[in-house]
Amino acid sequence: MMNITYPNQYRNYCLFDEERISARIKNRENELSQIQKSLENPNNEAEVIEDLYILNRMLDEGVNGIDKLYPVLSKYNNTSSPNVQTFLAGIYRKTKIPDAFGPLWAMLIRNSINPPQNCPFDPNEEIGGAILDYLA
C-alpha cells in the first residue's frame, strides 16, 4: 500500500514509505518491469510519483536499464503536475536521454506561461537544472 505525503507550505518535498521504497530498490533491475507496467496503467498520480521516485533512487544506486524506460516515461512529458515534472526532470537529468531534451524545454515554457498554482516549490528549478546539465 502506497503512503505518500505531498509537499505543503512547511515542506517542499514528498515523503514516502522509505521501508517500502528500499525494499523495491533492492530488487534492482528486476523491479523495472513492474515499474514499467505500473507507469503504463497507473491507478493514480501517487502511484506515478512513487514509481518516479524509485527510479530516481535507483539511478543513484547505479541500477542499469532505466534509460530503456523512456517510451513509457515520455507518456508524462506533457503533465501539468509539478511533482511528476520534478521527478521526471530528475530522471532525465541523470540519464541524459537525448529525446527528453525537447520535452524538458516544453515543460519549462509551459510552466513559464502558466505557472503551477498552489505549489510550495518551483518545478522549474529541477527542469532548468536538467536542461543545464544537458548543455554542459
Q: What average pLDDT score do residues 57-62 get?
A: 97
Say if 112 falls within a structural domain: yes
Running DSSP on this structure, what letter comes out for residue 121?
A: S
Q: What is the pLDDT of residues 111-124, one digit of tens each?
A: 999 999 889 999 99
- Would 8 be classed as within a structural domain? no
Per-residue model confidence as pLDDT tens digits over 62-72: 999 999 999 99
Largest pairwise CA distance in the chain: 41
pTM, full prediction? 0.94
Q: Find the domain containing 95 and state its range.
A: 18-135
With respect to residue 7, please indicate whether it lies within any of the assigned structural domains. no
Give 15's strand partners. Answer: 5
Distance CA 134, CA 130 (A): 6
- Supply the mean pLDDT for the chain: 95
Model confidence at 1: pLDDT above 70: no
As a whole-number percent, the residues of the chain with pLDDT over 70 amount to: 99
If phi > 0 it is left, if psi is from -120 to 50 it is alpha, else beta; for residue 96 that is left
Query: pLDDT by residue (tens digit) across 7-43?
Result: 999 999 999 999 999 999 999 999 999 999 999 999 9
| Within a domain: 107 | yes
DSSP assignment string, 7-62:
-BTTBSS-B--HHHHHHHHHTGGGGHHHHHHHHHS-SSHHHHHHHHHHHHHHHHTT
Q: Give me the pLDDT at residue 75, please.
A: 97
83-103 tens-digit pLDDT: 999 999 999 999 999 999 999
97 within domain boundaries: yes
The pLDDT, as a whole number, for residue 84 is 97
Domain-located, residue 2: no
Residue 18 CB neighbour total at 10 angstroms: 11
Distance of CA 9 to the CA centre of its chain: 21
In-domain check, residue 13: no
Domains identified in the chain, total number:
1
